[in-house]
Amino acid sequence: MSLLRDAWQHSPTHRRVWALAAPMILSNISVPMVALVDSAVVGHLPHAYQLAAVAVGASLYTLLTWAMGFLRMGTTGFAAQAAGRDDGGALRQVLLQGLLLGGGLALLLILIALPFSSLALSLMQPSTELDQLARGYFQIRLFGLPAALASYALIGWLLGTQNARGPLAILLTTNLLNVALDLLFVLGLHWGVAGAAWASVIAEWSGALLGLWLARRALRRYAGQIDWPALRRWLSWRPLLAVNRDIFIRTLALQAVFFLITVQGTRLGDATVAANALLLNGLLLTAHALDGLAHAVEALCGHALGARDRDALRRNLIVAGGWSLLASLGFALFFLIAGQSFIQLQTDIATVRETAFEYLPYLALLPLVAVWSYLLDGLFIGATRAREMRDAMLLAVVLSLPLAWLLQGLGNHGLWLTFLCFMALRSLCLGAYAHYLSRHDLWFGPCNPRQAAQDRP
């Protein structure tokens, strides 16, 4: 208990955590705010299927982009450790590898996206109107895919160097521009669902260009050069690709869960899938805010691991964990007290509102259950321990599947109960791995120079 108290009372750690967390919380909240504005703008069009089309089309696009979330998470861990070693050459190499990987993956995803969307929509069995609008929305969003993946790598790299203002500038520029164009295209020019899609595309490219400029400025603080011959050697790519592979599998499993929620909700009717989308906007708002603290853990713990500072690692975790718990309690109270107003802001369609009101208690419980998985994700990302993240996620999914089958008779209630249990299992599995690594003193790994050189990307 004395260690916990001493760590919590360490004022410099609080300042370091909030110096990174505050800008990231502000920037992260702007991401679900775009979804909220999309819902609010399209939700005030005449038909429920228009709102449902944006929800379905966005879920298909999100499945592609969030599956590539390893570009941010993997880049953050390696950049943080390189910054901890003050290795400017490694920082340049990590950034370039992330951008090259993002560009190649964007081209590959665009090639497979159209058959993927046709298969996904056939599984959902939507109405004719919903199918047509969702398909058009998704196809337009593909024009912004290269920019979205480049931004992932840029944000992850900047965060790894403990530069939280850069990601804040990128995300605020992207999302505020998205909101402004959304209002112009949908309400001003009456482009409907397609207008919301084009607003996102333009905003994504604007954010990526800004990120490139910020990264170039940030590199001036670090001496070093890119080892160009190393980029042609497999050994220089293997650490980054191994971590990214495991994070990709982990993220794909997580996105499969969200996708299955959309699929099952679509089968329950347009009003249900639209209501679930509004509730998931609340979850996204919570997750992105709490992720601001998790991002601070990624950068600070990665830096502590690179510098082999055990005391700093412990203090960072305790301080960020305490603030994460307090923030999750605040979100739970917000959805209990103001949840109906939150739904009413997003739509005036009566059937969608009434359906969403019924499931608000699940949304209020989610922050308290999910907060620990966000915090532990930050620790594992900073440590580049992606294999444990992957295994914990797969185990949580496998354990949740029998529960989903047993509760399917409860309809949408069963769907939300399964999701709550999945998030709890995710936290428990990550916690078990963290306890094992701590008990066996495995967080820091080998410290000899030859091993350290092999671990560099």
Three-state SS letters, 423-457: HHHHHHHHHHHHHHHHHCCCCCCCCCHHHHHHHCC
Distance CA(309)–CA(301), nearest Å, equals: 9
Distance CA(377)–CA(428), nearest Å, equals: 12
Domain residue ranges in the chain = 2-455
Question: Tell me: the pLDDT tens digits for 89-130?
Answer: 878 888 888 899 889 989 998 888 888 777 777 766 666 777
Q: Please give the pLDDT value at position 205.
A: 92
Q: Please give the pLDDT value at position 294.
A: 85
Distance CA(351)–CA(52), nearest Å, equals: 13
Kindly state the tokens that stand for 345. Answer: 């802001």
Give the residue among 65, 194, 62, 196 at the shortest CA–CA distance from 136.
Answer: 194
Question: Tell me: the pLDDT tens digits for 204-247?
Answer: 899 999 999 999 888 888 777 777 787 777 777 777 777 778 88
Task: Spell out the alpha helix ranges (H) of 85-164.
Answer: 88-124, 128-141, 145-160
Please give the helix or strand (H or E) that residue 316 lies within, else none.
helix 310-346
DSSP annotation of 1: -
Q: What is the pTM of this model?
A: 0.67
Burial status of residue 191 (CB atoms within 10 A of its CB: 0-12, 13-18, 19 or more): middle
User: Across all residues in the chain, what is the average pLDDT?
Assistant: 82
Burial status of residue 341 (CB atoms within 10 A of its CB: 0-12, 13-18, 19 or more): exposed
Distance CA(448)–CA(120), nearest Å, equals: 49
Residue 142 near residue 205 (C-beta atoms within 8 A): no
Q: What DSSP assignment string belongs to 51-80?
A: HHHHHHHHHHHHHHHHHTTHHHHHHHHHHH
Distance CA(448)–CA(102), nearest Å, equals: 32
Q: Please give the pLDDT value at position 36.
A: 62
Residue 179 near residue 40 (C-beta atoms within 8 A): no
Residues ≥6 apart with Cβ < 8 Å to 406 = none
Residue 34 near residue 180 (C-beta atoms within 8 A): no
Distance CA(99)–CA(114), nearest Å, equals: 24
Q: Please give the pLDDT value at position 213.
A: 93
DSSP annotation of 188: I
> For the chain, which residues score pLDDT lower than 50?
447-457
User: Which amino acid is it at 356?
Assistant: A
Q: Please give the pLDDT value at position 25.
A: 78
